[in-house]
Structure 1
Amino acid sequence: MQNALPFPQPRPVPSPGPVQNPARDPGHDPAAPPPVPLAPPRRRRRRLAVLALVLLLFAAPVAAAGLYLFALAGDRFRSEAAFSVRAQDAPVPAAGLFGVLGGLGGGEASDAEILFDVLRSRAMAERIDARLDLRAIYGRVPGDLVFGLPADATAEDLARHWRRAVRVTLDRQAGILSVSADAFTAAEARAIAAALLEESTRIVNGLSAQARADAIGFAAADLAEAEARLRDIRARLADFRRAHRIVDPSADAAGQMGVVSSLEQDLARALIDRDMLRAYAGPEDHRLTQADRRIAAIRARIEAERGAIAAAGAAPGASPMPDVLAGYEALLTDLEFAQEAYTQAQANLAAARAEARRQTRYLATHIAPTLPETAEYPRRWADLGLVAAFAAMLCALALVSTYSVRDGRVAG
């Protein structure tokens, strides 16, 4: 028994507590790799949060966009047209329909801006809907939740969708309107563009007719006003003549002044005759006495005629002749202006009618509504790439923000 080999004794097991300094541990092998610590639960939770953030901000949007673009979105066709407002009498763009016909300059910007606003309006959407049933056209793909239109859409929904499906651009310098209409079929897209062209033609024709009617109406109103004023002044002149019992006070005054002038000539001859008589007759010659009496009588008559002209008109109790002449001349001046205004108003009316017949606004079509052969939208891979790029940027921004907040907490 004593020669039997002894059993090996077990080595003492070190305490499970952490070693503060492995270099001082007698059983530590310096060549051995350091032990890999196990990941604590908090770090695992952080990795799960990052994974959830990536799934939520990147994978989910990209998957949803891909599902919509490749499974739900319908192909959209685009028809285009271009036109402008022109006038037959001018090679340049026509002047505004709301200006005076034969216009004072401006350009067709007002007409184009009117059409630009009308084509994008809710009223235009309702007109095209009444003709083509836009709710049926845009509700053809029920699964397209972005560009489709539900059958029970309200008028406001239809107007908002109209502004998205129909794009109108205006070249203000050239006055050219460009229209593009989207639909789920090529024929319907072209039908919408053609309906817009027809409605634009109807609007231009209506505005042109209204402008012509306004121009003629304004000229006719001016003529009626000038005619009424002329009639009024003529009636006042007739009343004036009846009141003073004088057809032409200026002619009467001229006649009376002619009598005075004749008397003055007689007075001059009488003075000359008396002077010649004094040359050879004595002071007591009865011929000198007669000459003096004749001269005195002529002077008295001249004074009497001048007093009659200055004192009163032809009728007893009438106003003084200067006042009568002043009133008569004022009426004559008003009558002259009224006649000139009436003549000018007649010329303006004739010119407005001529311009209305000569100038006609019309819609010049530069590009007829096109019939697309292939669908332009949606551009699935390009749109999916844009969604992925934005999602990646958003996800990266969220991750950077998350780690910045964590580092700030650790540093604190």
Structure 2
Amino acid sequence: MAQPARMKRRHWGLVLSFGLMVLVPLVLVLLYMWLVAEDQYASSTGFTVRQEEDGGASAVLGGLAQLAGGSTSADGDILHEFILSQALVQTIDEKVGLRDHYSAHWSTDPVFALSPDATLEELQEYWQRIVRISYDQGSGLMDVRVLAYDPDKAQQIAQQIILEGQAMINALNDQAREDAMRYAEIELDEAVARLKEAREALTNFRTRTTIVDPDADLQGRMGVMNGLQQQLAAALIEYDLLREQTSEDDPRITQVRRRIEAIRNRIAEERRAFTSDTTANSTDGEDYPTLIAEYEGLVVDREFAEESYRATLAAVDVARAKASRQSRYLATYVPPTRAESSEYPQRLTISALAGLFLLLVWSICALVYYSIRDRR
């Protein structure tokens, strides 16, 4: 029959290793958490970056941009990175005194306190331990929790984070205003120069051709043509009547023929002036159709420059109106709270995690040891 199980040397070694690797460190952690670690107080706040809402098509485009991760989400991302940045840590340290507060407990709580000789980079790393940010990119809501050894100090740091965040948003607003006004004024200057150039080109055309309005001049020429056509019709009728009433030797018939011939010659001259003959007022030998085409092109350029100038002027007014109000602002939906009791450090949670970690380490070491021992 099998002998009763008894503790052997390897069993006592396993128990000893459990005590040294699990129980002793766990007892030290428990003693430190309940006897040494200083109480910490939390101040929570919540805020988001909002933009003023526009009506009409801009609101629709803004909604589509937000669905696609537009500017609202981008502003939240910028604010999130700014809160964790070294620049904010340095600014709050200068205004609130982070080093003095968190290093004051270094002698009594070196695990959770800040070293008095900490550099700016170490202070930034410590900042990420005492400041926890919960950020939802979809809604843009941001929750911040600040830990400190004093509830008033925690609330003061949280308030300073809001103030510095608002200052950063204001800086973005100022930069956006300056850029919008600068670009609008540049476009206005270009539109004014374009309009001035178009008007000067039209003035040079009128000076060169001594034609103020080719359309009016063309209408005058067409009036002359219509008058000649009417005179020719009247002369032909008169000629037909004379032929019926008198003989071919009548001097009046000869006179009417000469009149008809003169009118036809004048009509032919006028028609050639419309097609190929140079104008009497032109010094460059340009024909009339070319001048008409050139004038119409200059008029189109001037009208386009005027429309562009009016649109740019309206854009400047809109940019100036937008620059007079704040397009982005930091909306605080949860003011910084003041804790009445200490909730940190989370002693039970840290102790349980420490025990679990030590147990896992001991188990792995034991399994590795017996695996090597069994292969020998």
Q: Which residue of 1 aligns with 2:332?
A: 365
In the alignment, which of 75, 80, 89 is matched to residue 39 of structure 2?
75
- Match status 1:335 vs 2:302: yes
Distance 2:309 2:348 in 1: 74
CA contact (8 A) 1:82 1:179 kept: yes
In the alignment, which of 49, 61, 68 is matched to residue 85 of structure 1?
49
Q: Which residue of 1 aligns with 2:144?
A: 179
| Unaligned 5+ runs, structure 1 | 1-32, 92-99
Q: Which residue of 1 aligns with 2:69?
A: none
TM normalised by structure 2 equals 0.87
TM normalised by structure 1 equals 0.80
Per-residue CA deviations over 1:261-309 (Å, capped at 9, x if unaligned) read 2112211211122122222222333222222211111111111122233
Distance 2:284 2:365 in 1: 109
Shift in Å at residue 89 of structure 1? 5.6
In the alignment, which of 232, 236, 239 is matched to residue 274 of structure 1?
239
Pair member with larger Rg: 1
Shift in Å at residue 238 of structure 1? 1.7
Q: Which residue of 2 aligns with 1:250?
A: 215
Identify if the C-alpha distance between structure 1 residues 360 and 242 changes in structure 2 by more than 3 Å, giving closer, same or farther: same
For the residue of structure 2 that corresponds to 1:371, the secondary structure is coil
Distance 2:3 2:299 in 1: 126
Identify if the C-alpha distance between structure 1 residues 406 and 178 changes in structure 2 by more than 3 Å, giving closer, same or farther: same
Per-residue CA deviations over 1:339-364 (Å, capped at 9, x if unaligned) read 01111111222222233335543322
Q: Which residue of 2 aligns with 1:395?
A: 362
Q: Percent identity?
A: 37
The count of residues paired between Structure 1 and Structure 2 equals: 364
CA contact (8 A) 1:102 1:359 kept: no
Identify if the C-alpha distance between structure 1 residues 322 and 175 changes in structure 2 by more than 3 Å, giving closer, same or farther: same
Query: Which structure ranks higher in relative contact order (CA pairs < 8 Å, sequence separation ≥ 6)?
Result: 2
CA contact (8 A) 1:82 1:365 kept: yes
Q: Where is the helix percentage greater, Structure 1 or Structure 2?
A: 2
Shift in Å at residue 219 of structure 1? 2.3
The equivalences for 1:11-160 within 5 A come to 44=9, 46-47=10-11, 49-87=13-51, 104-105=62-63, 106-107=65-66, 108-142=72-106, 143-160=108-125
Distance 2:356 2:79 in 1: 39
Distance 1:104 1:276 in 2: 82
Identify if the C-alpha distance between structure 1 residues 268 and 35 changes in structure 2 by more than 3 Å, giving closer, same or farther: closer
In the alignment, which of 231, 238, 254 is matched to residue 196 of structure 2?
231
Amino acid at match of 1:228: A
Distance 2:87 2:60 in 1: 31
Per-residue CA deviations over 1:164-216 (Å, capped at 9, x if unaligned) read 21112222333222111111111111111010011112122222233233333
CA contact (8 A) 1:101 1:211 kept: no
What is the RMSD of the two structures over their aligned residues, measured on CA atoms? 2.8
For the residue of structure 2 that corresponds to 1:204, the secondary structure is helix
Q: Which residue of 2 aligns with 1:298?
A: 263
Amino acid at match of 1:351: V
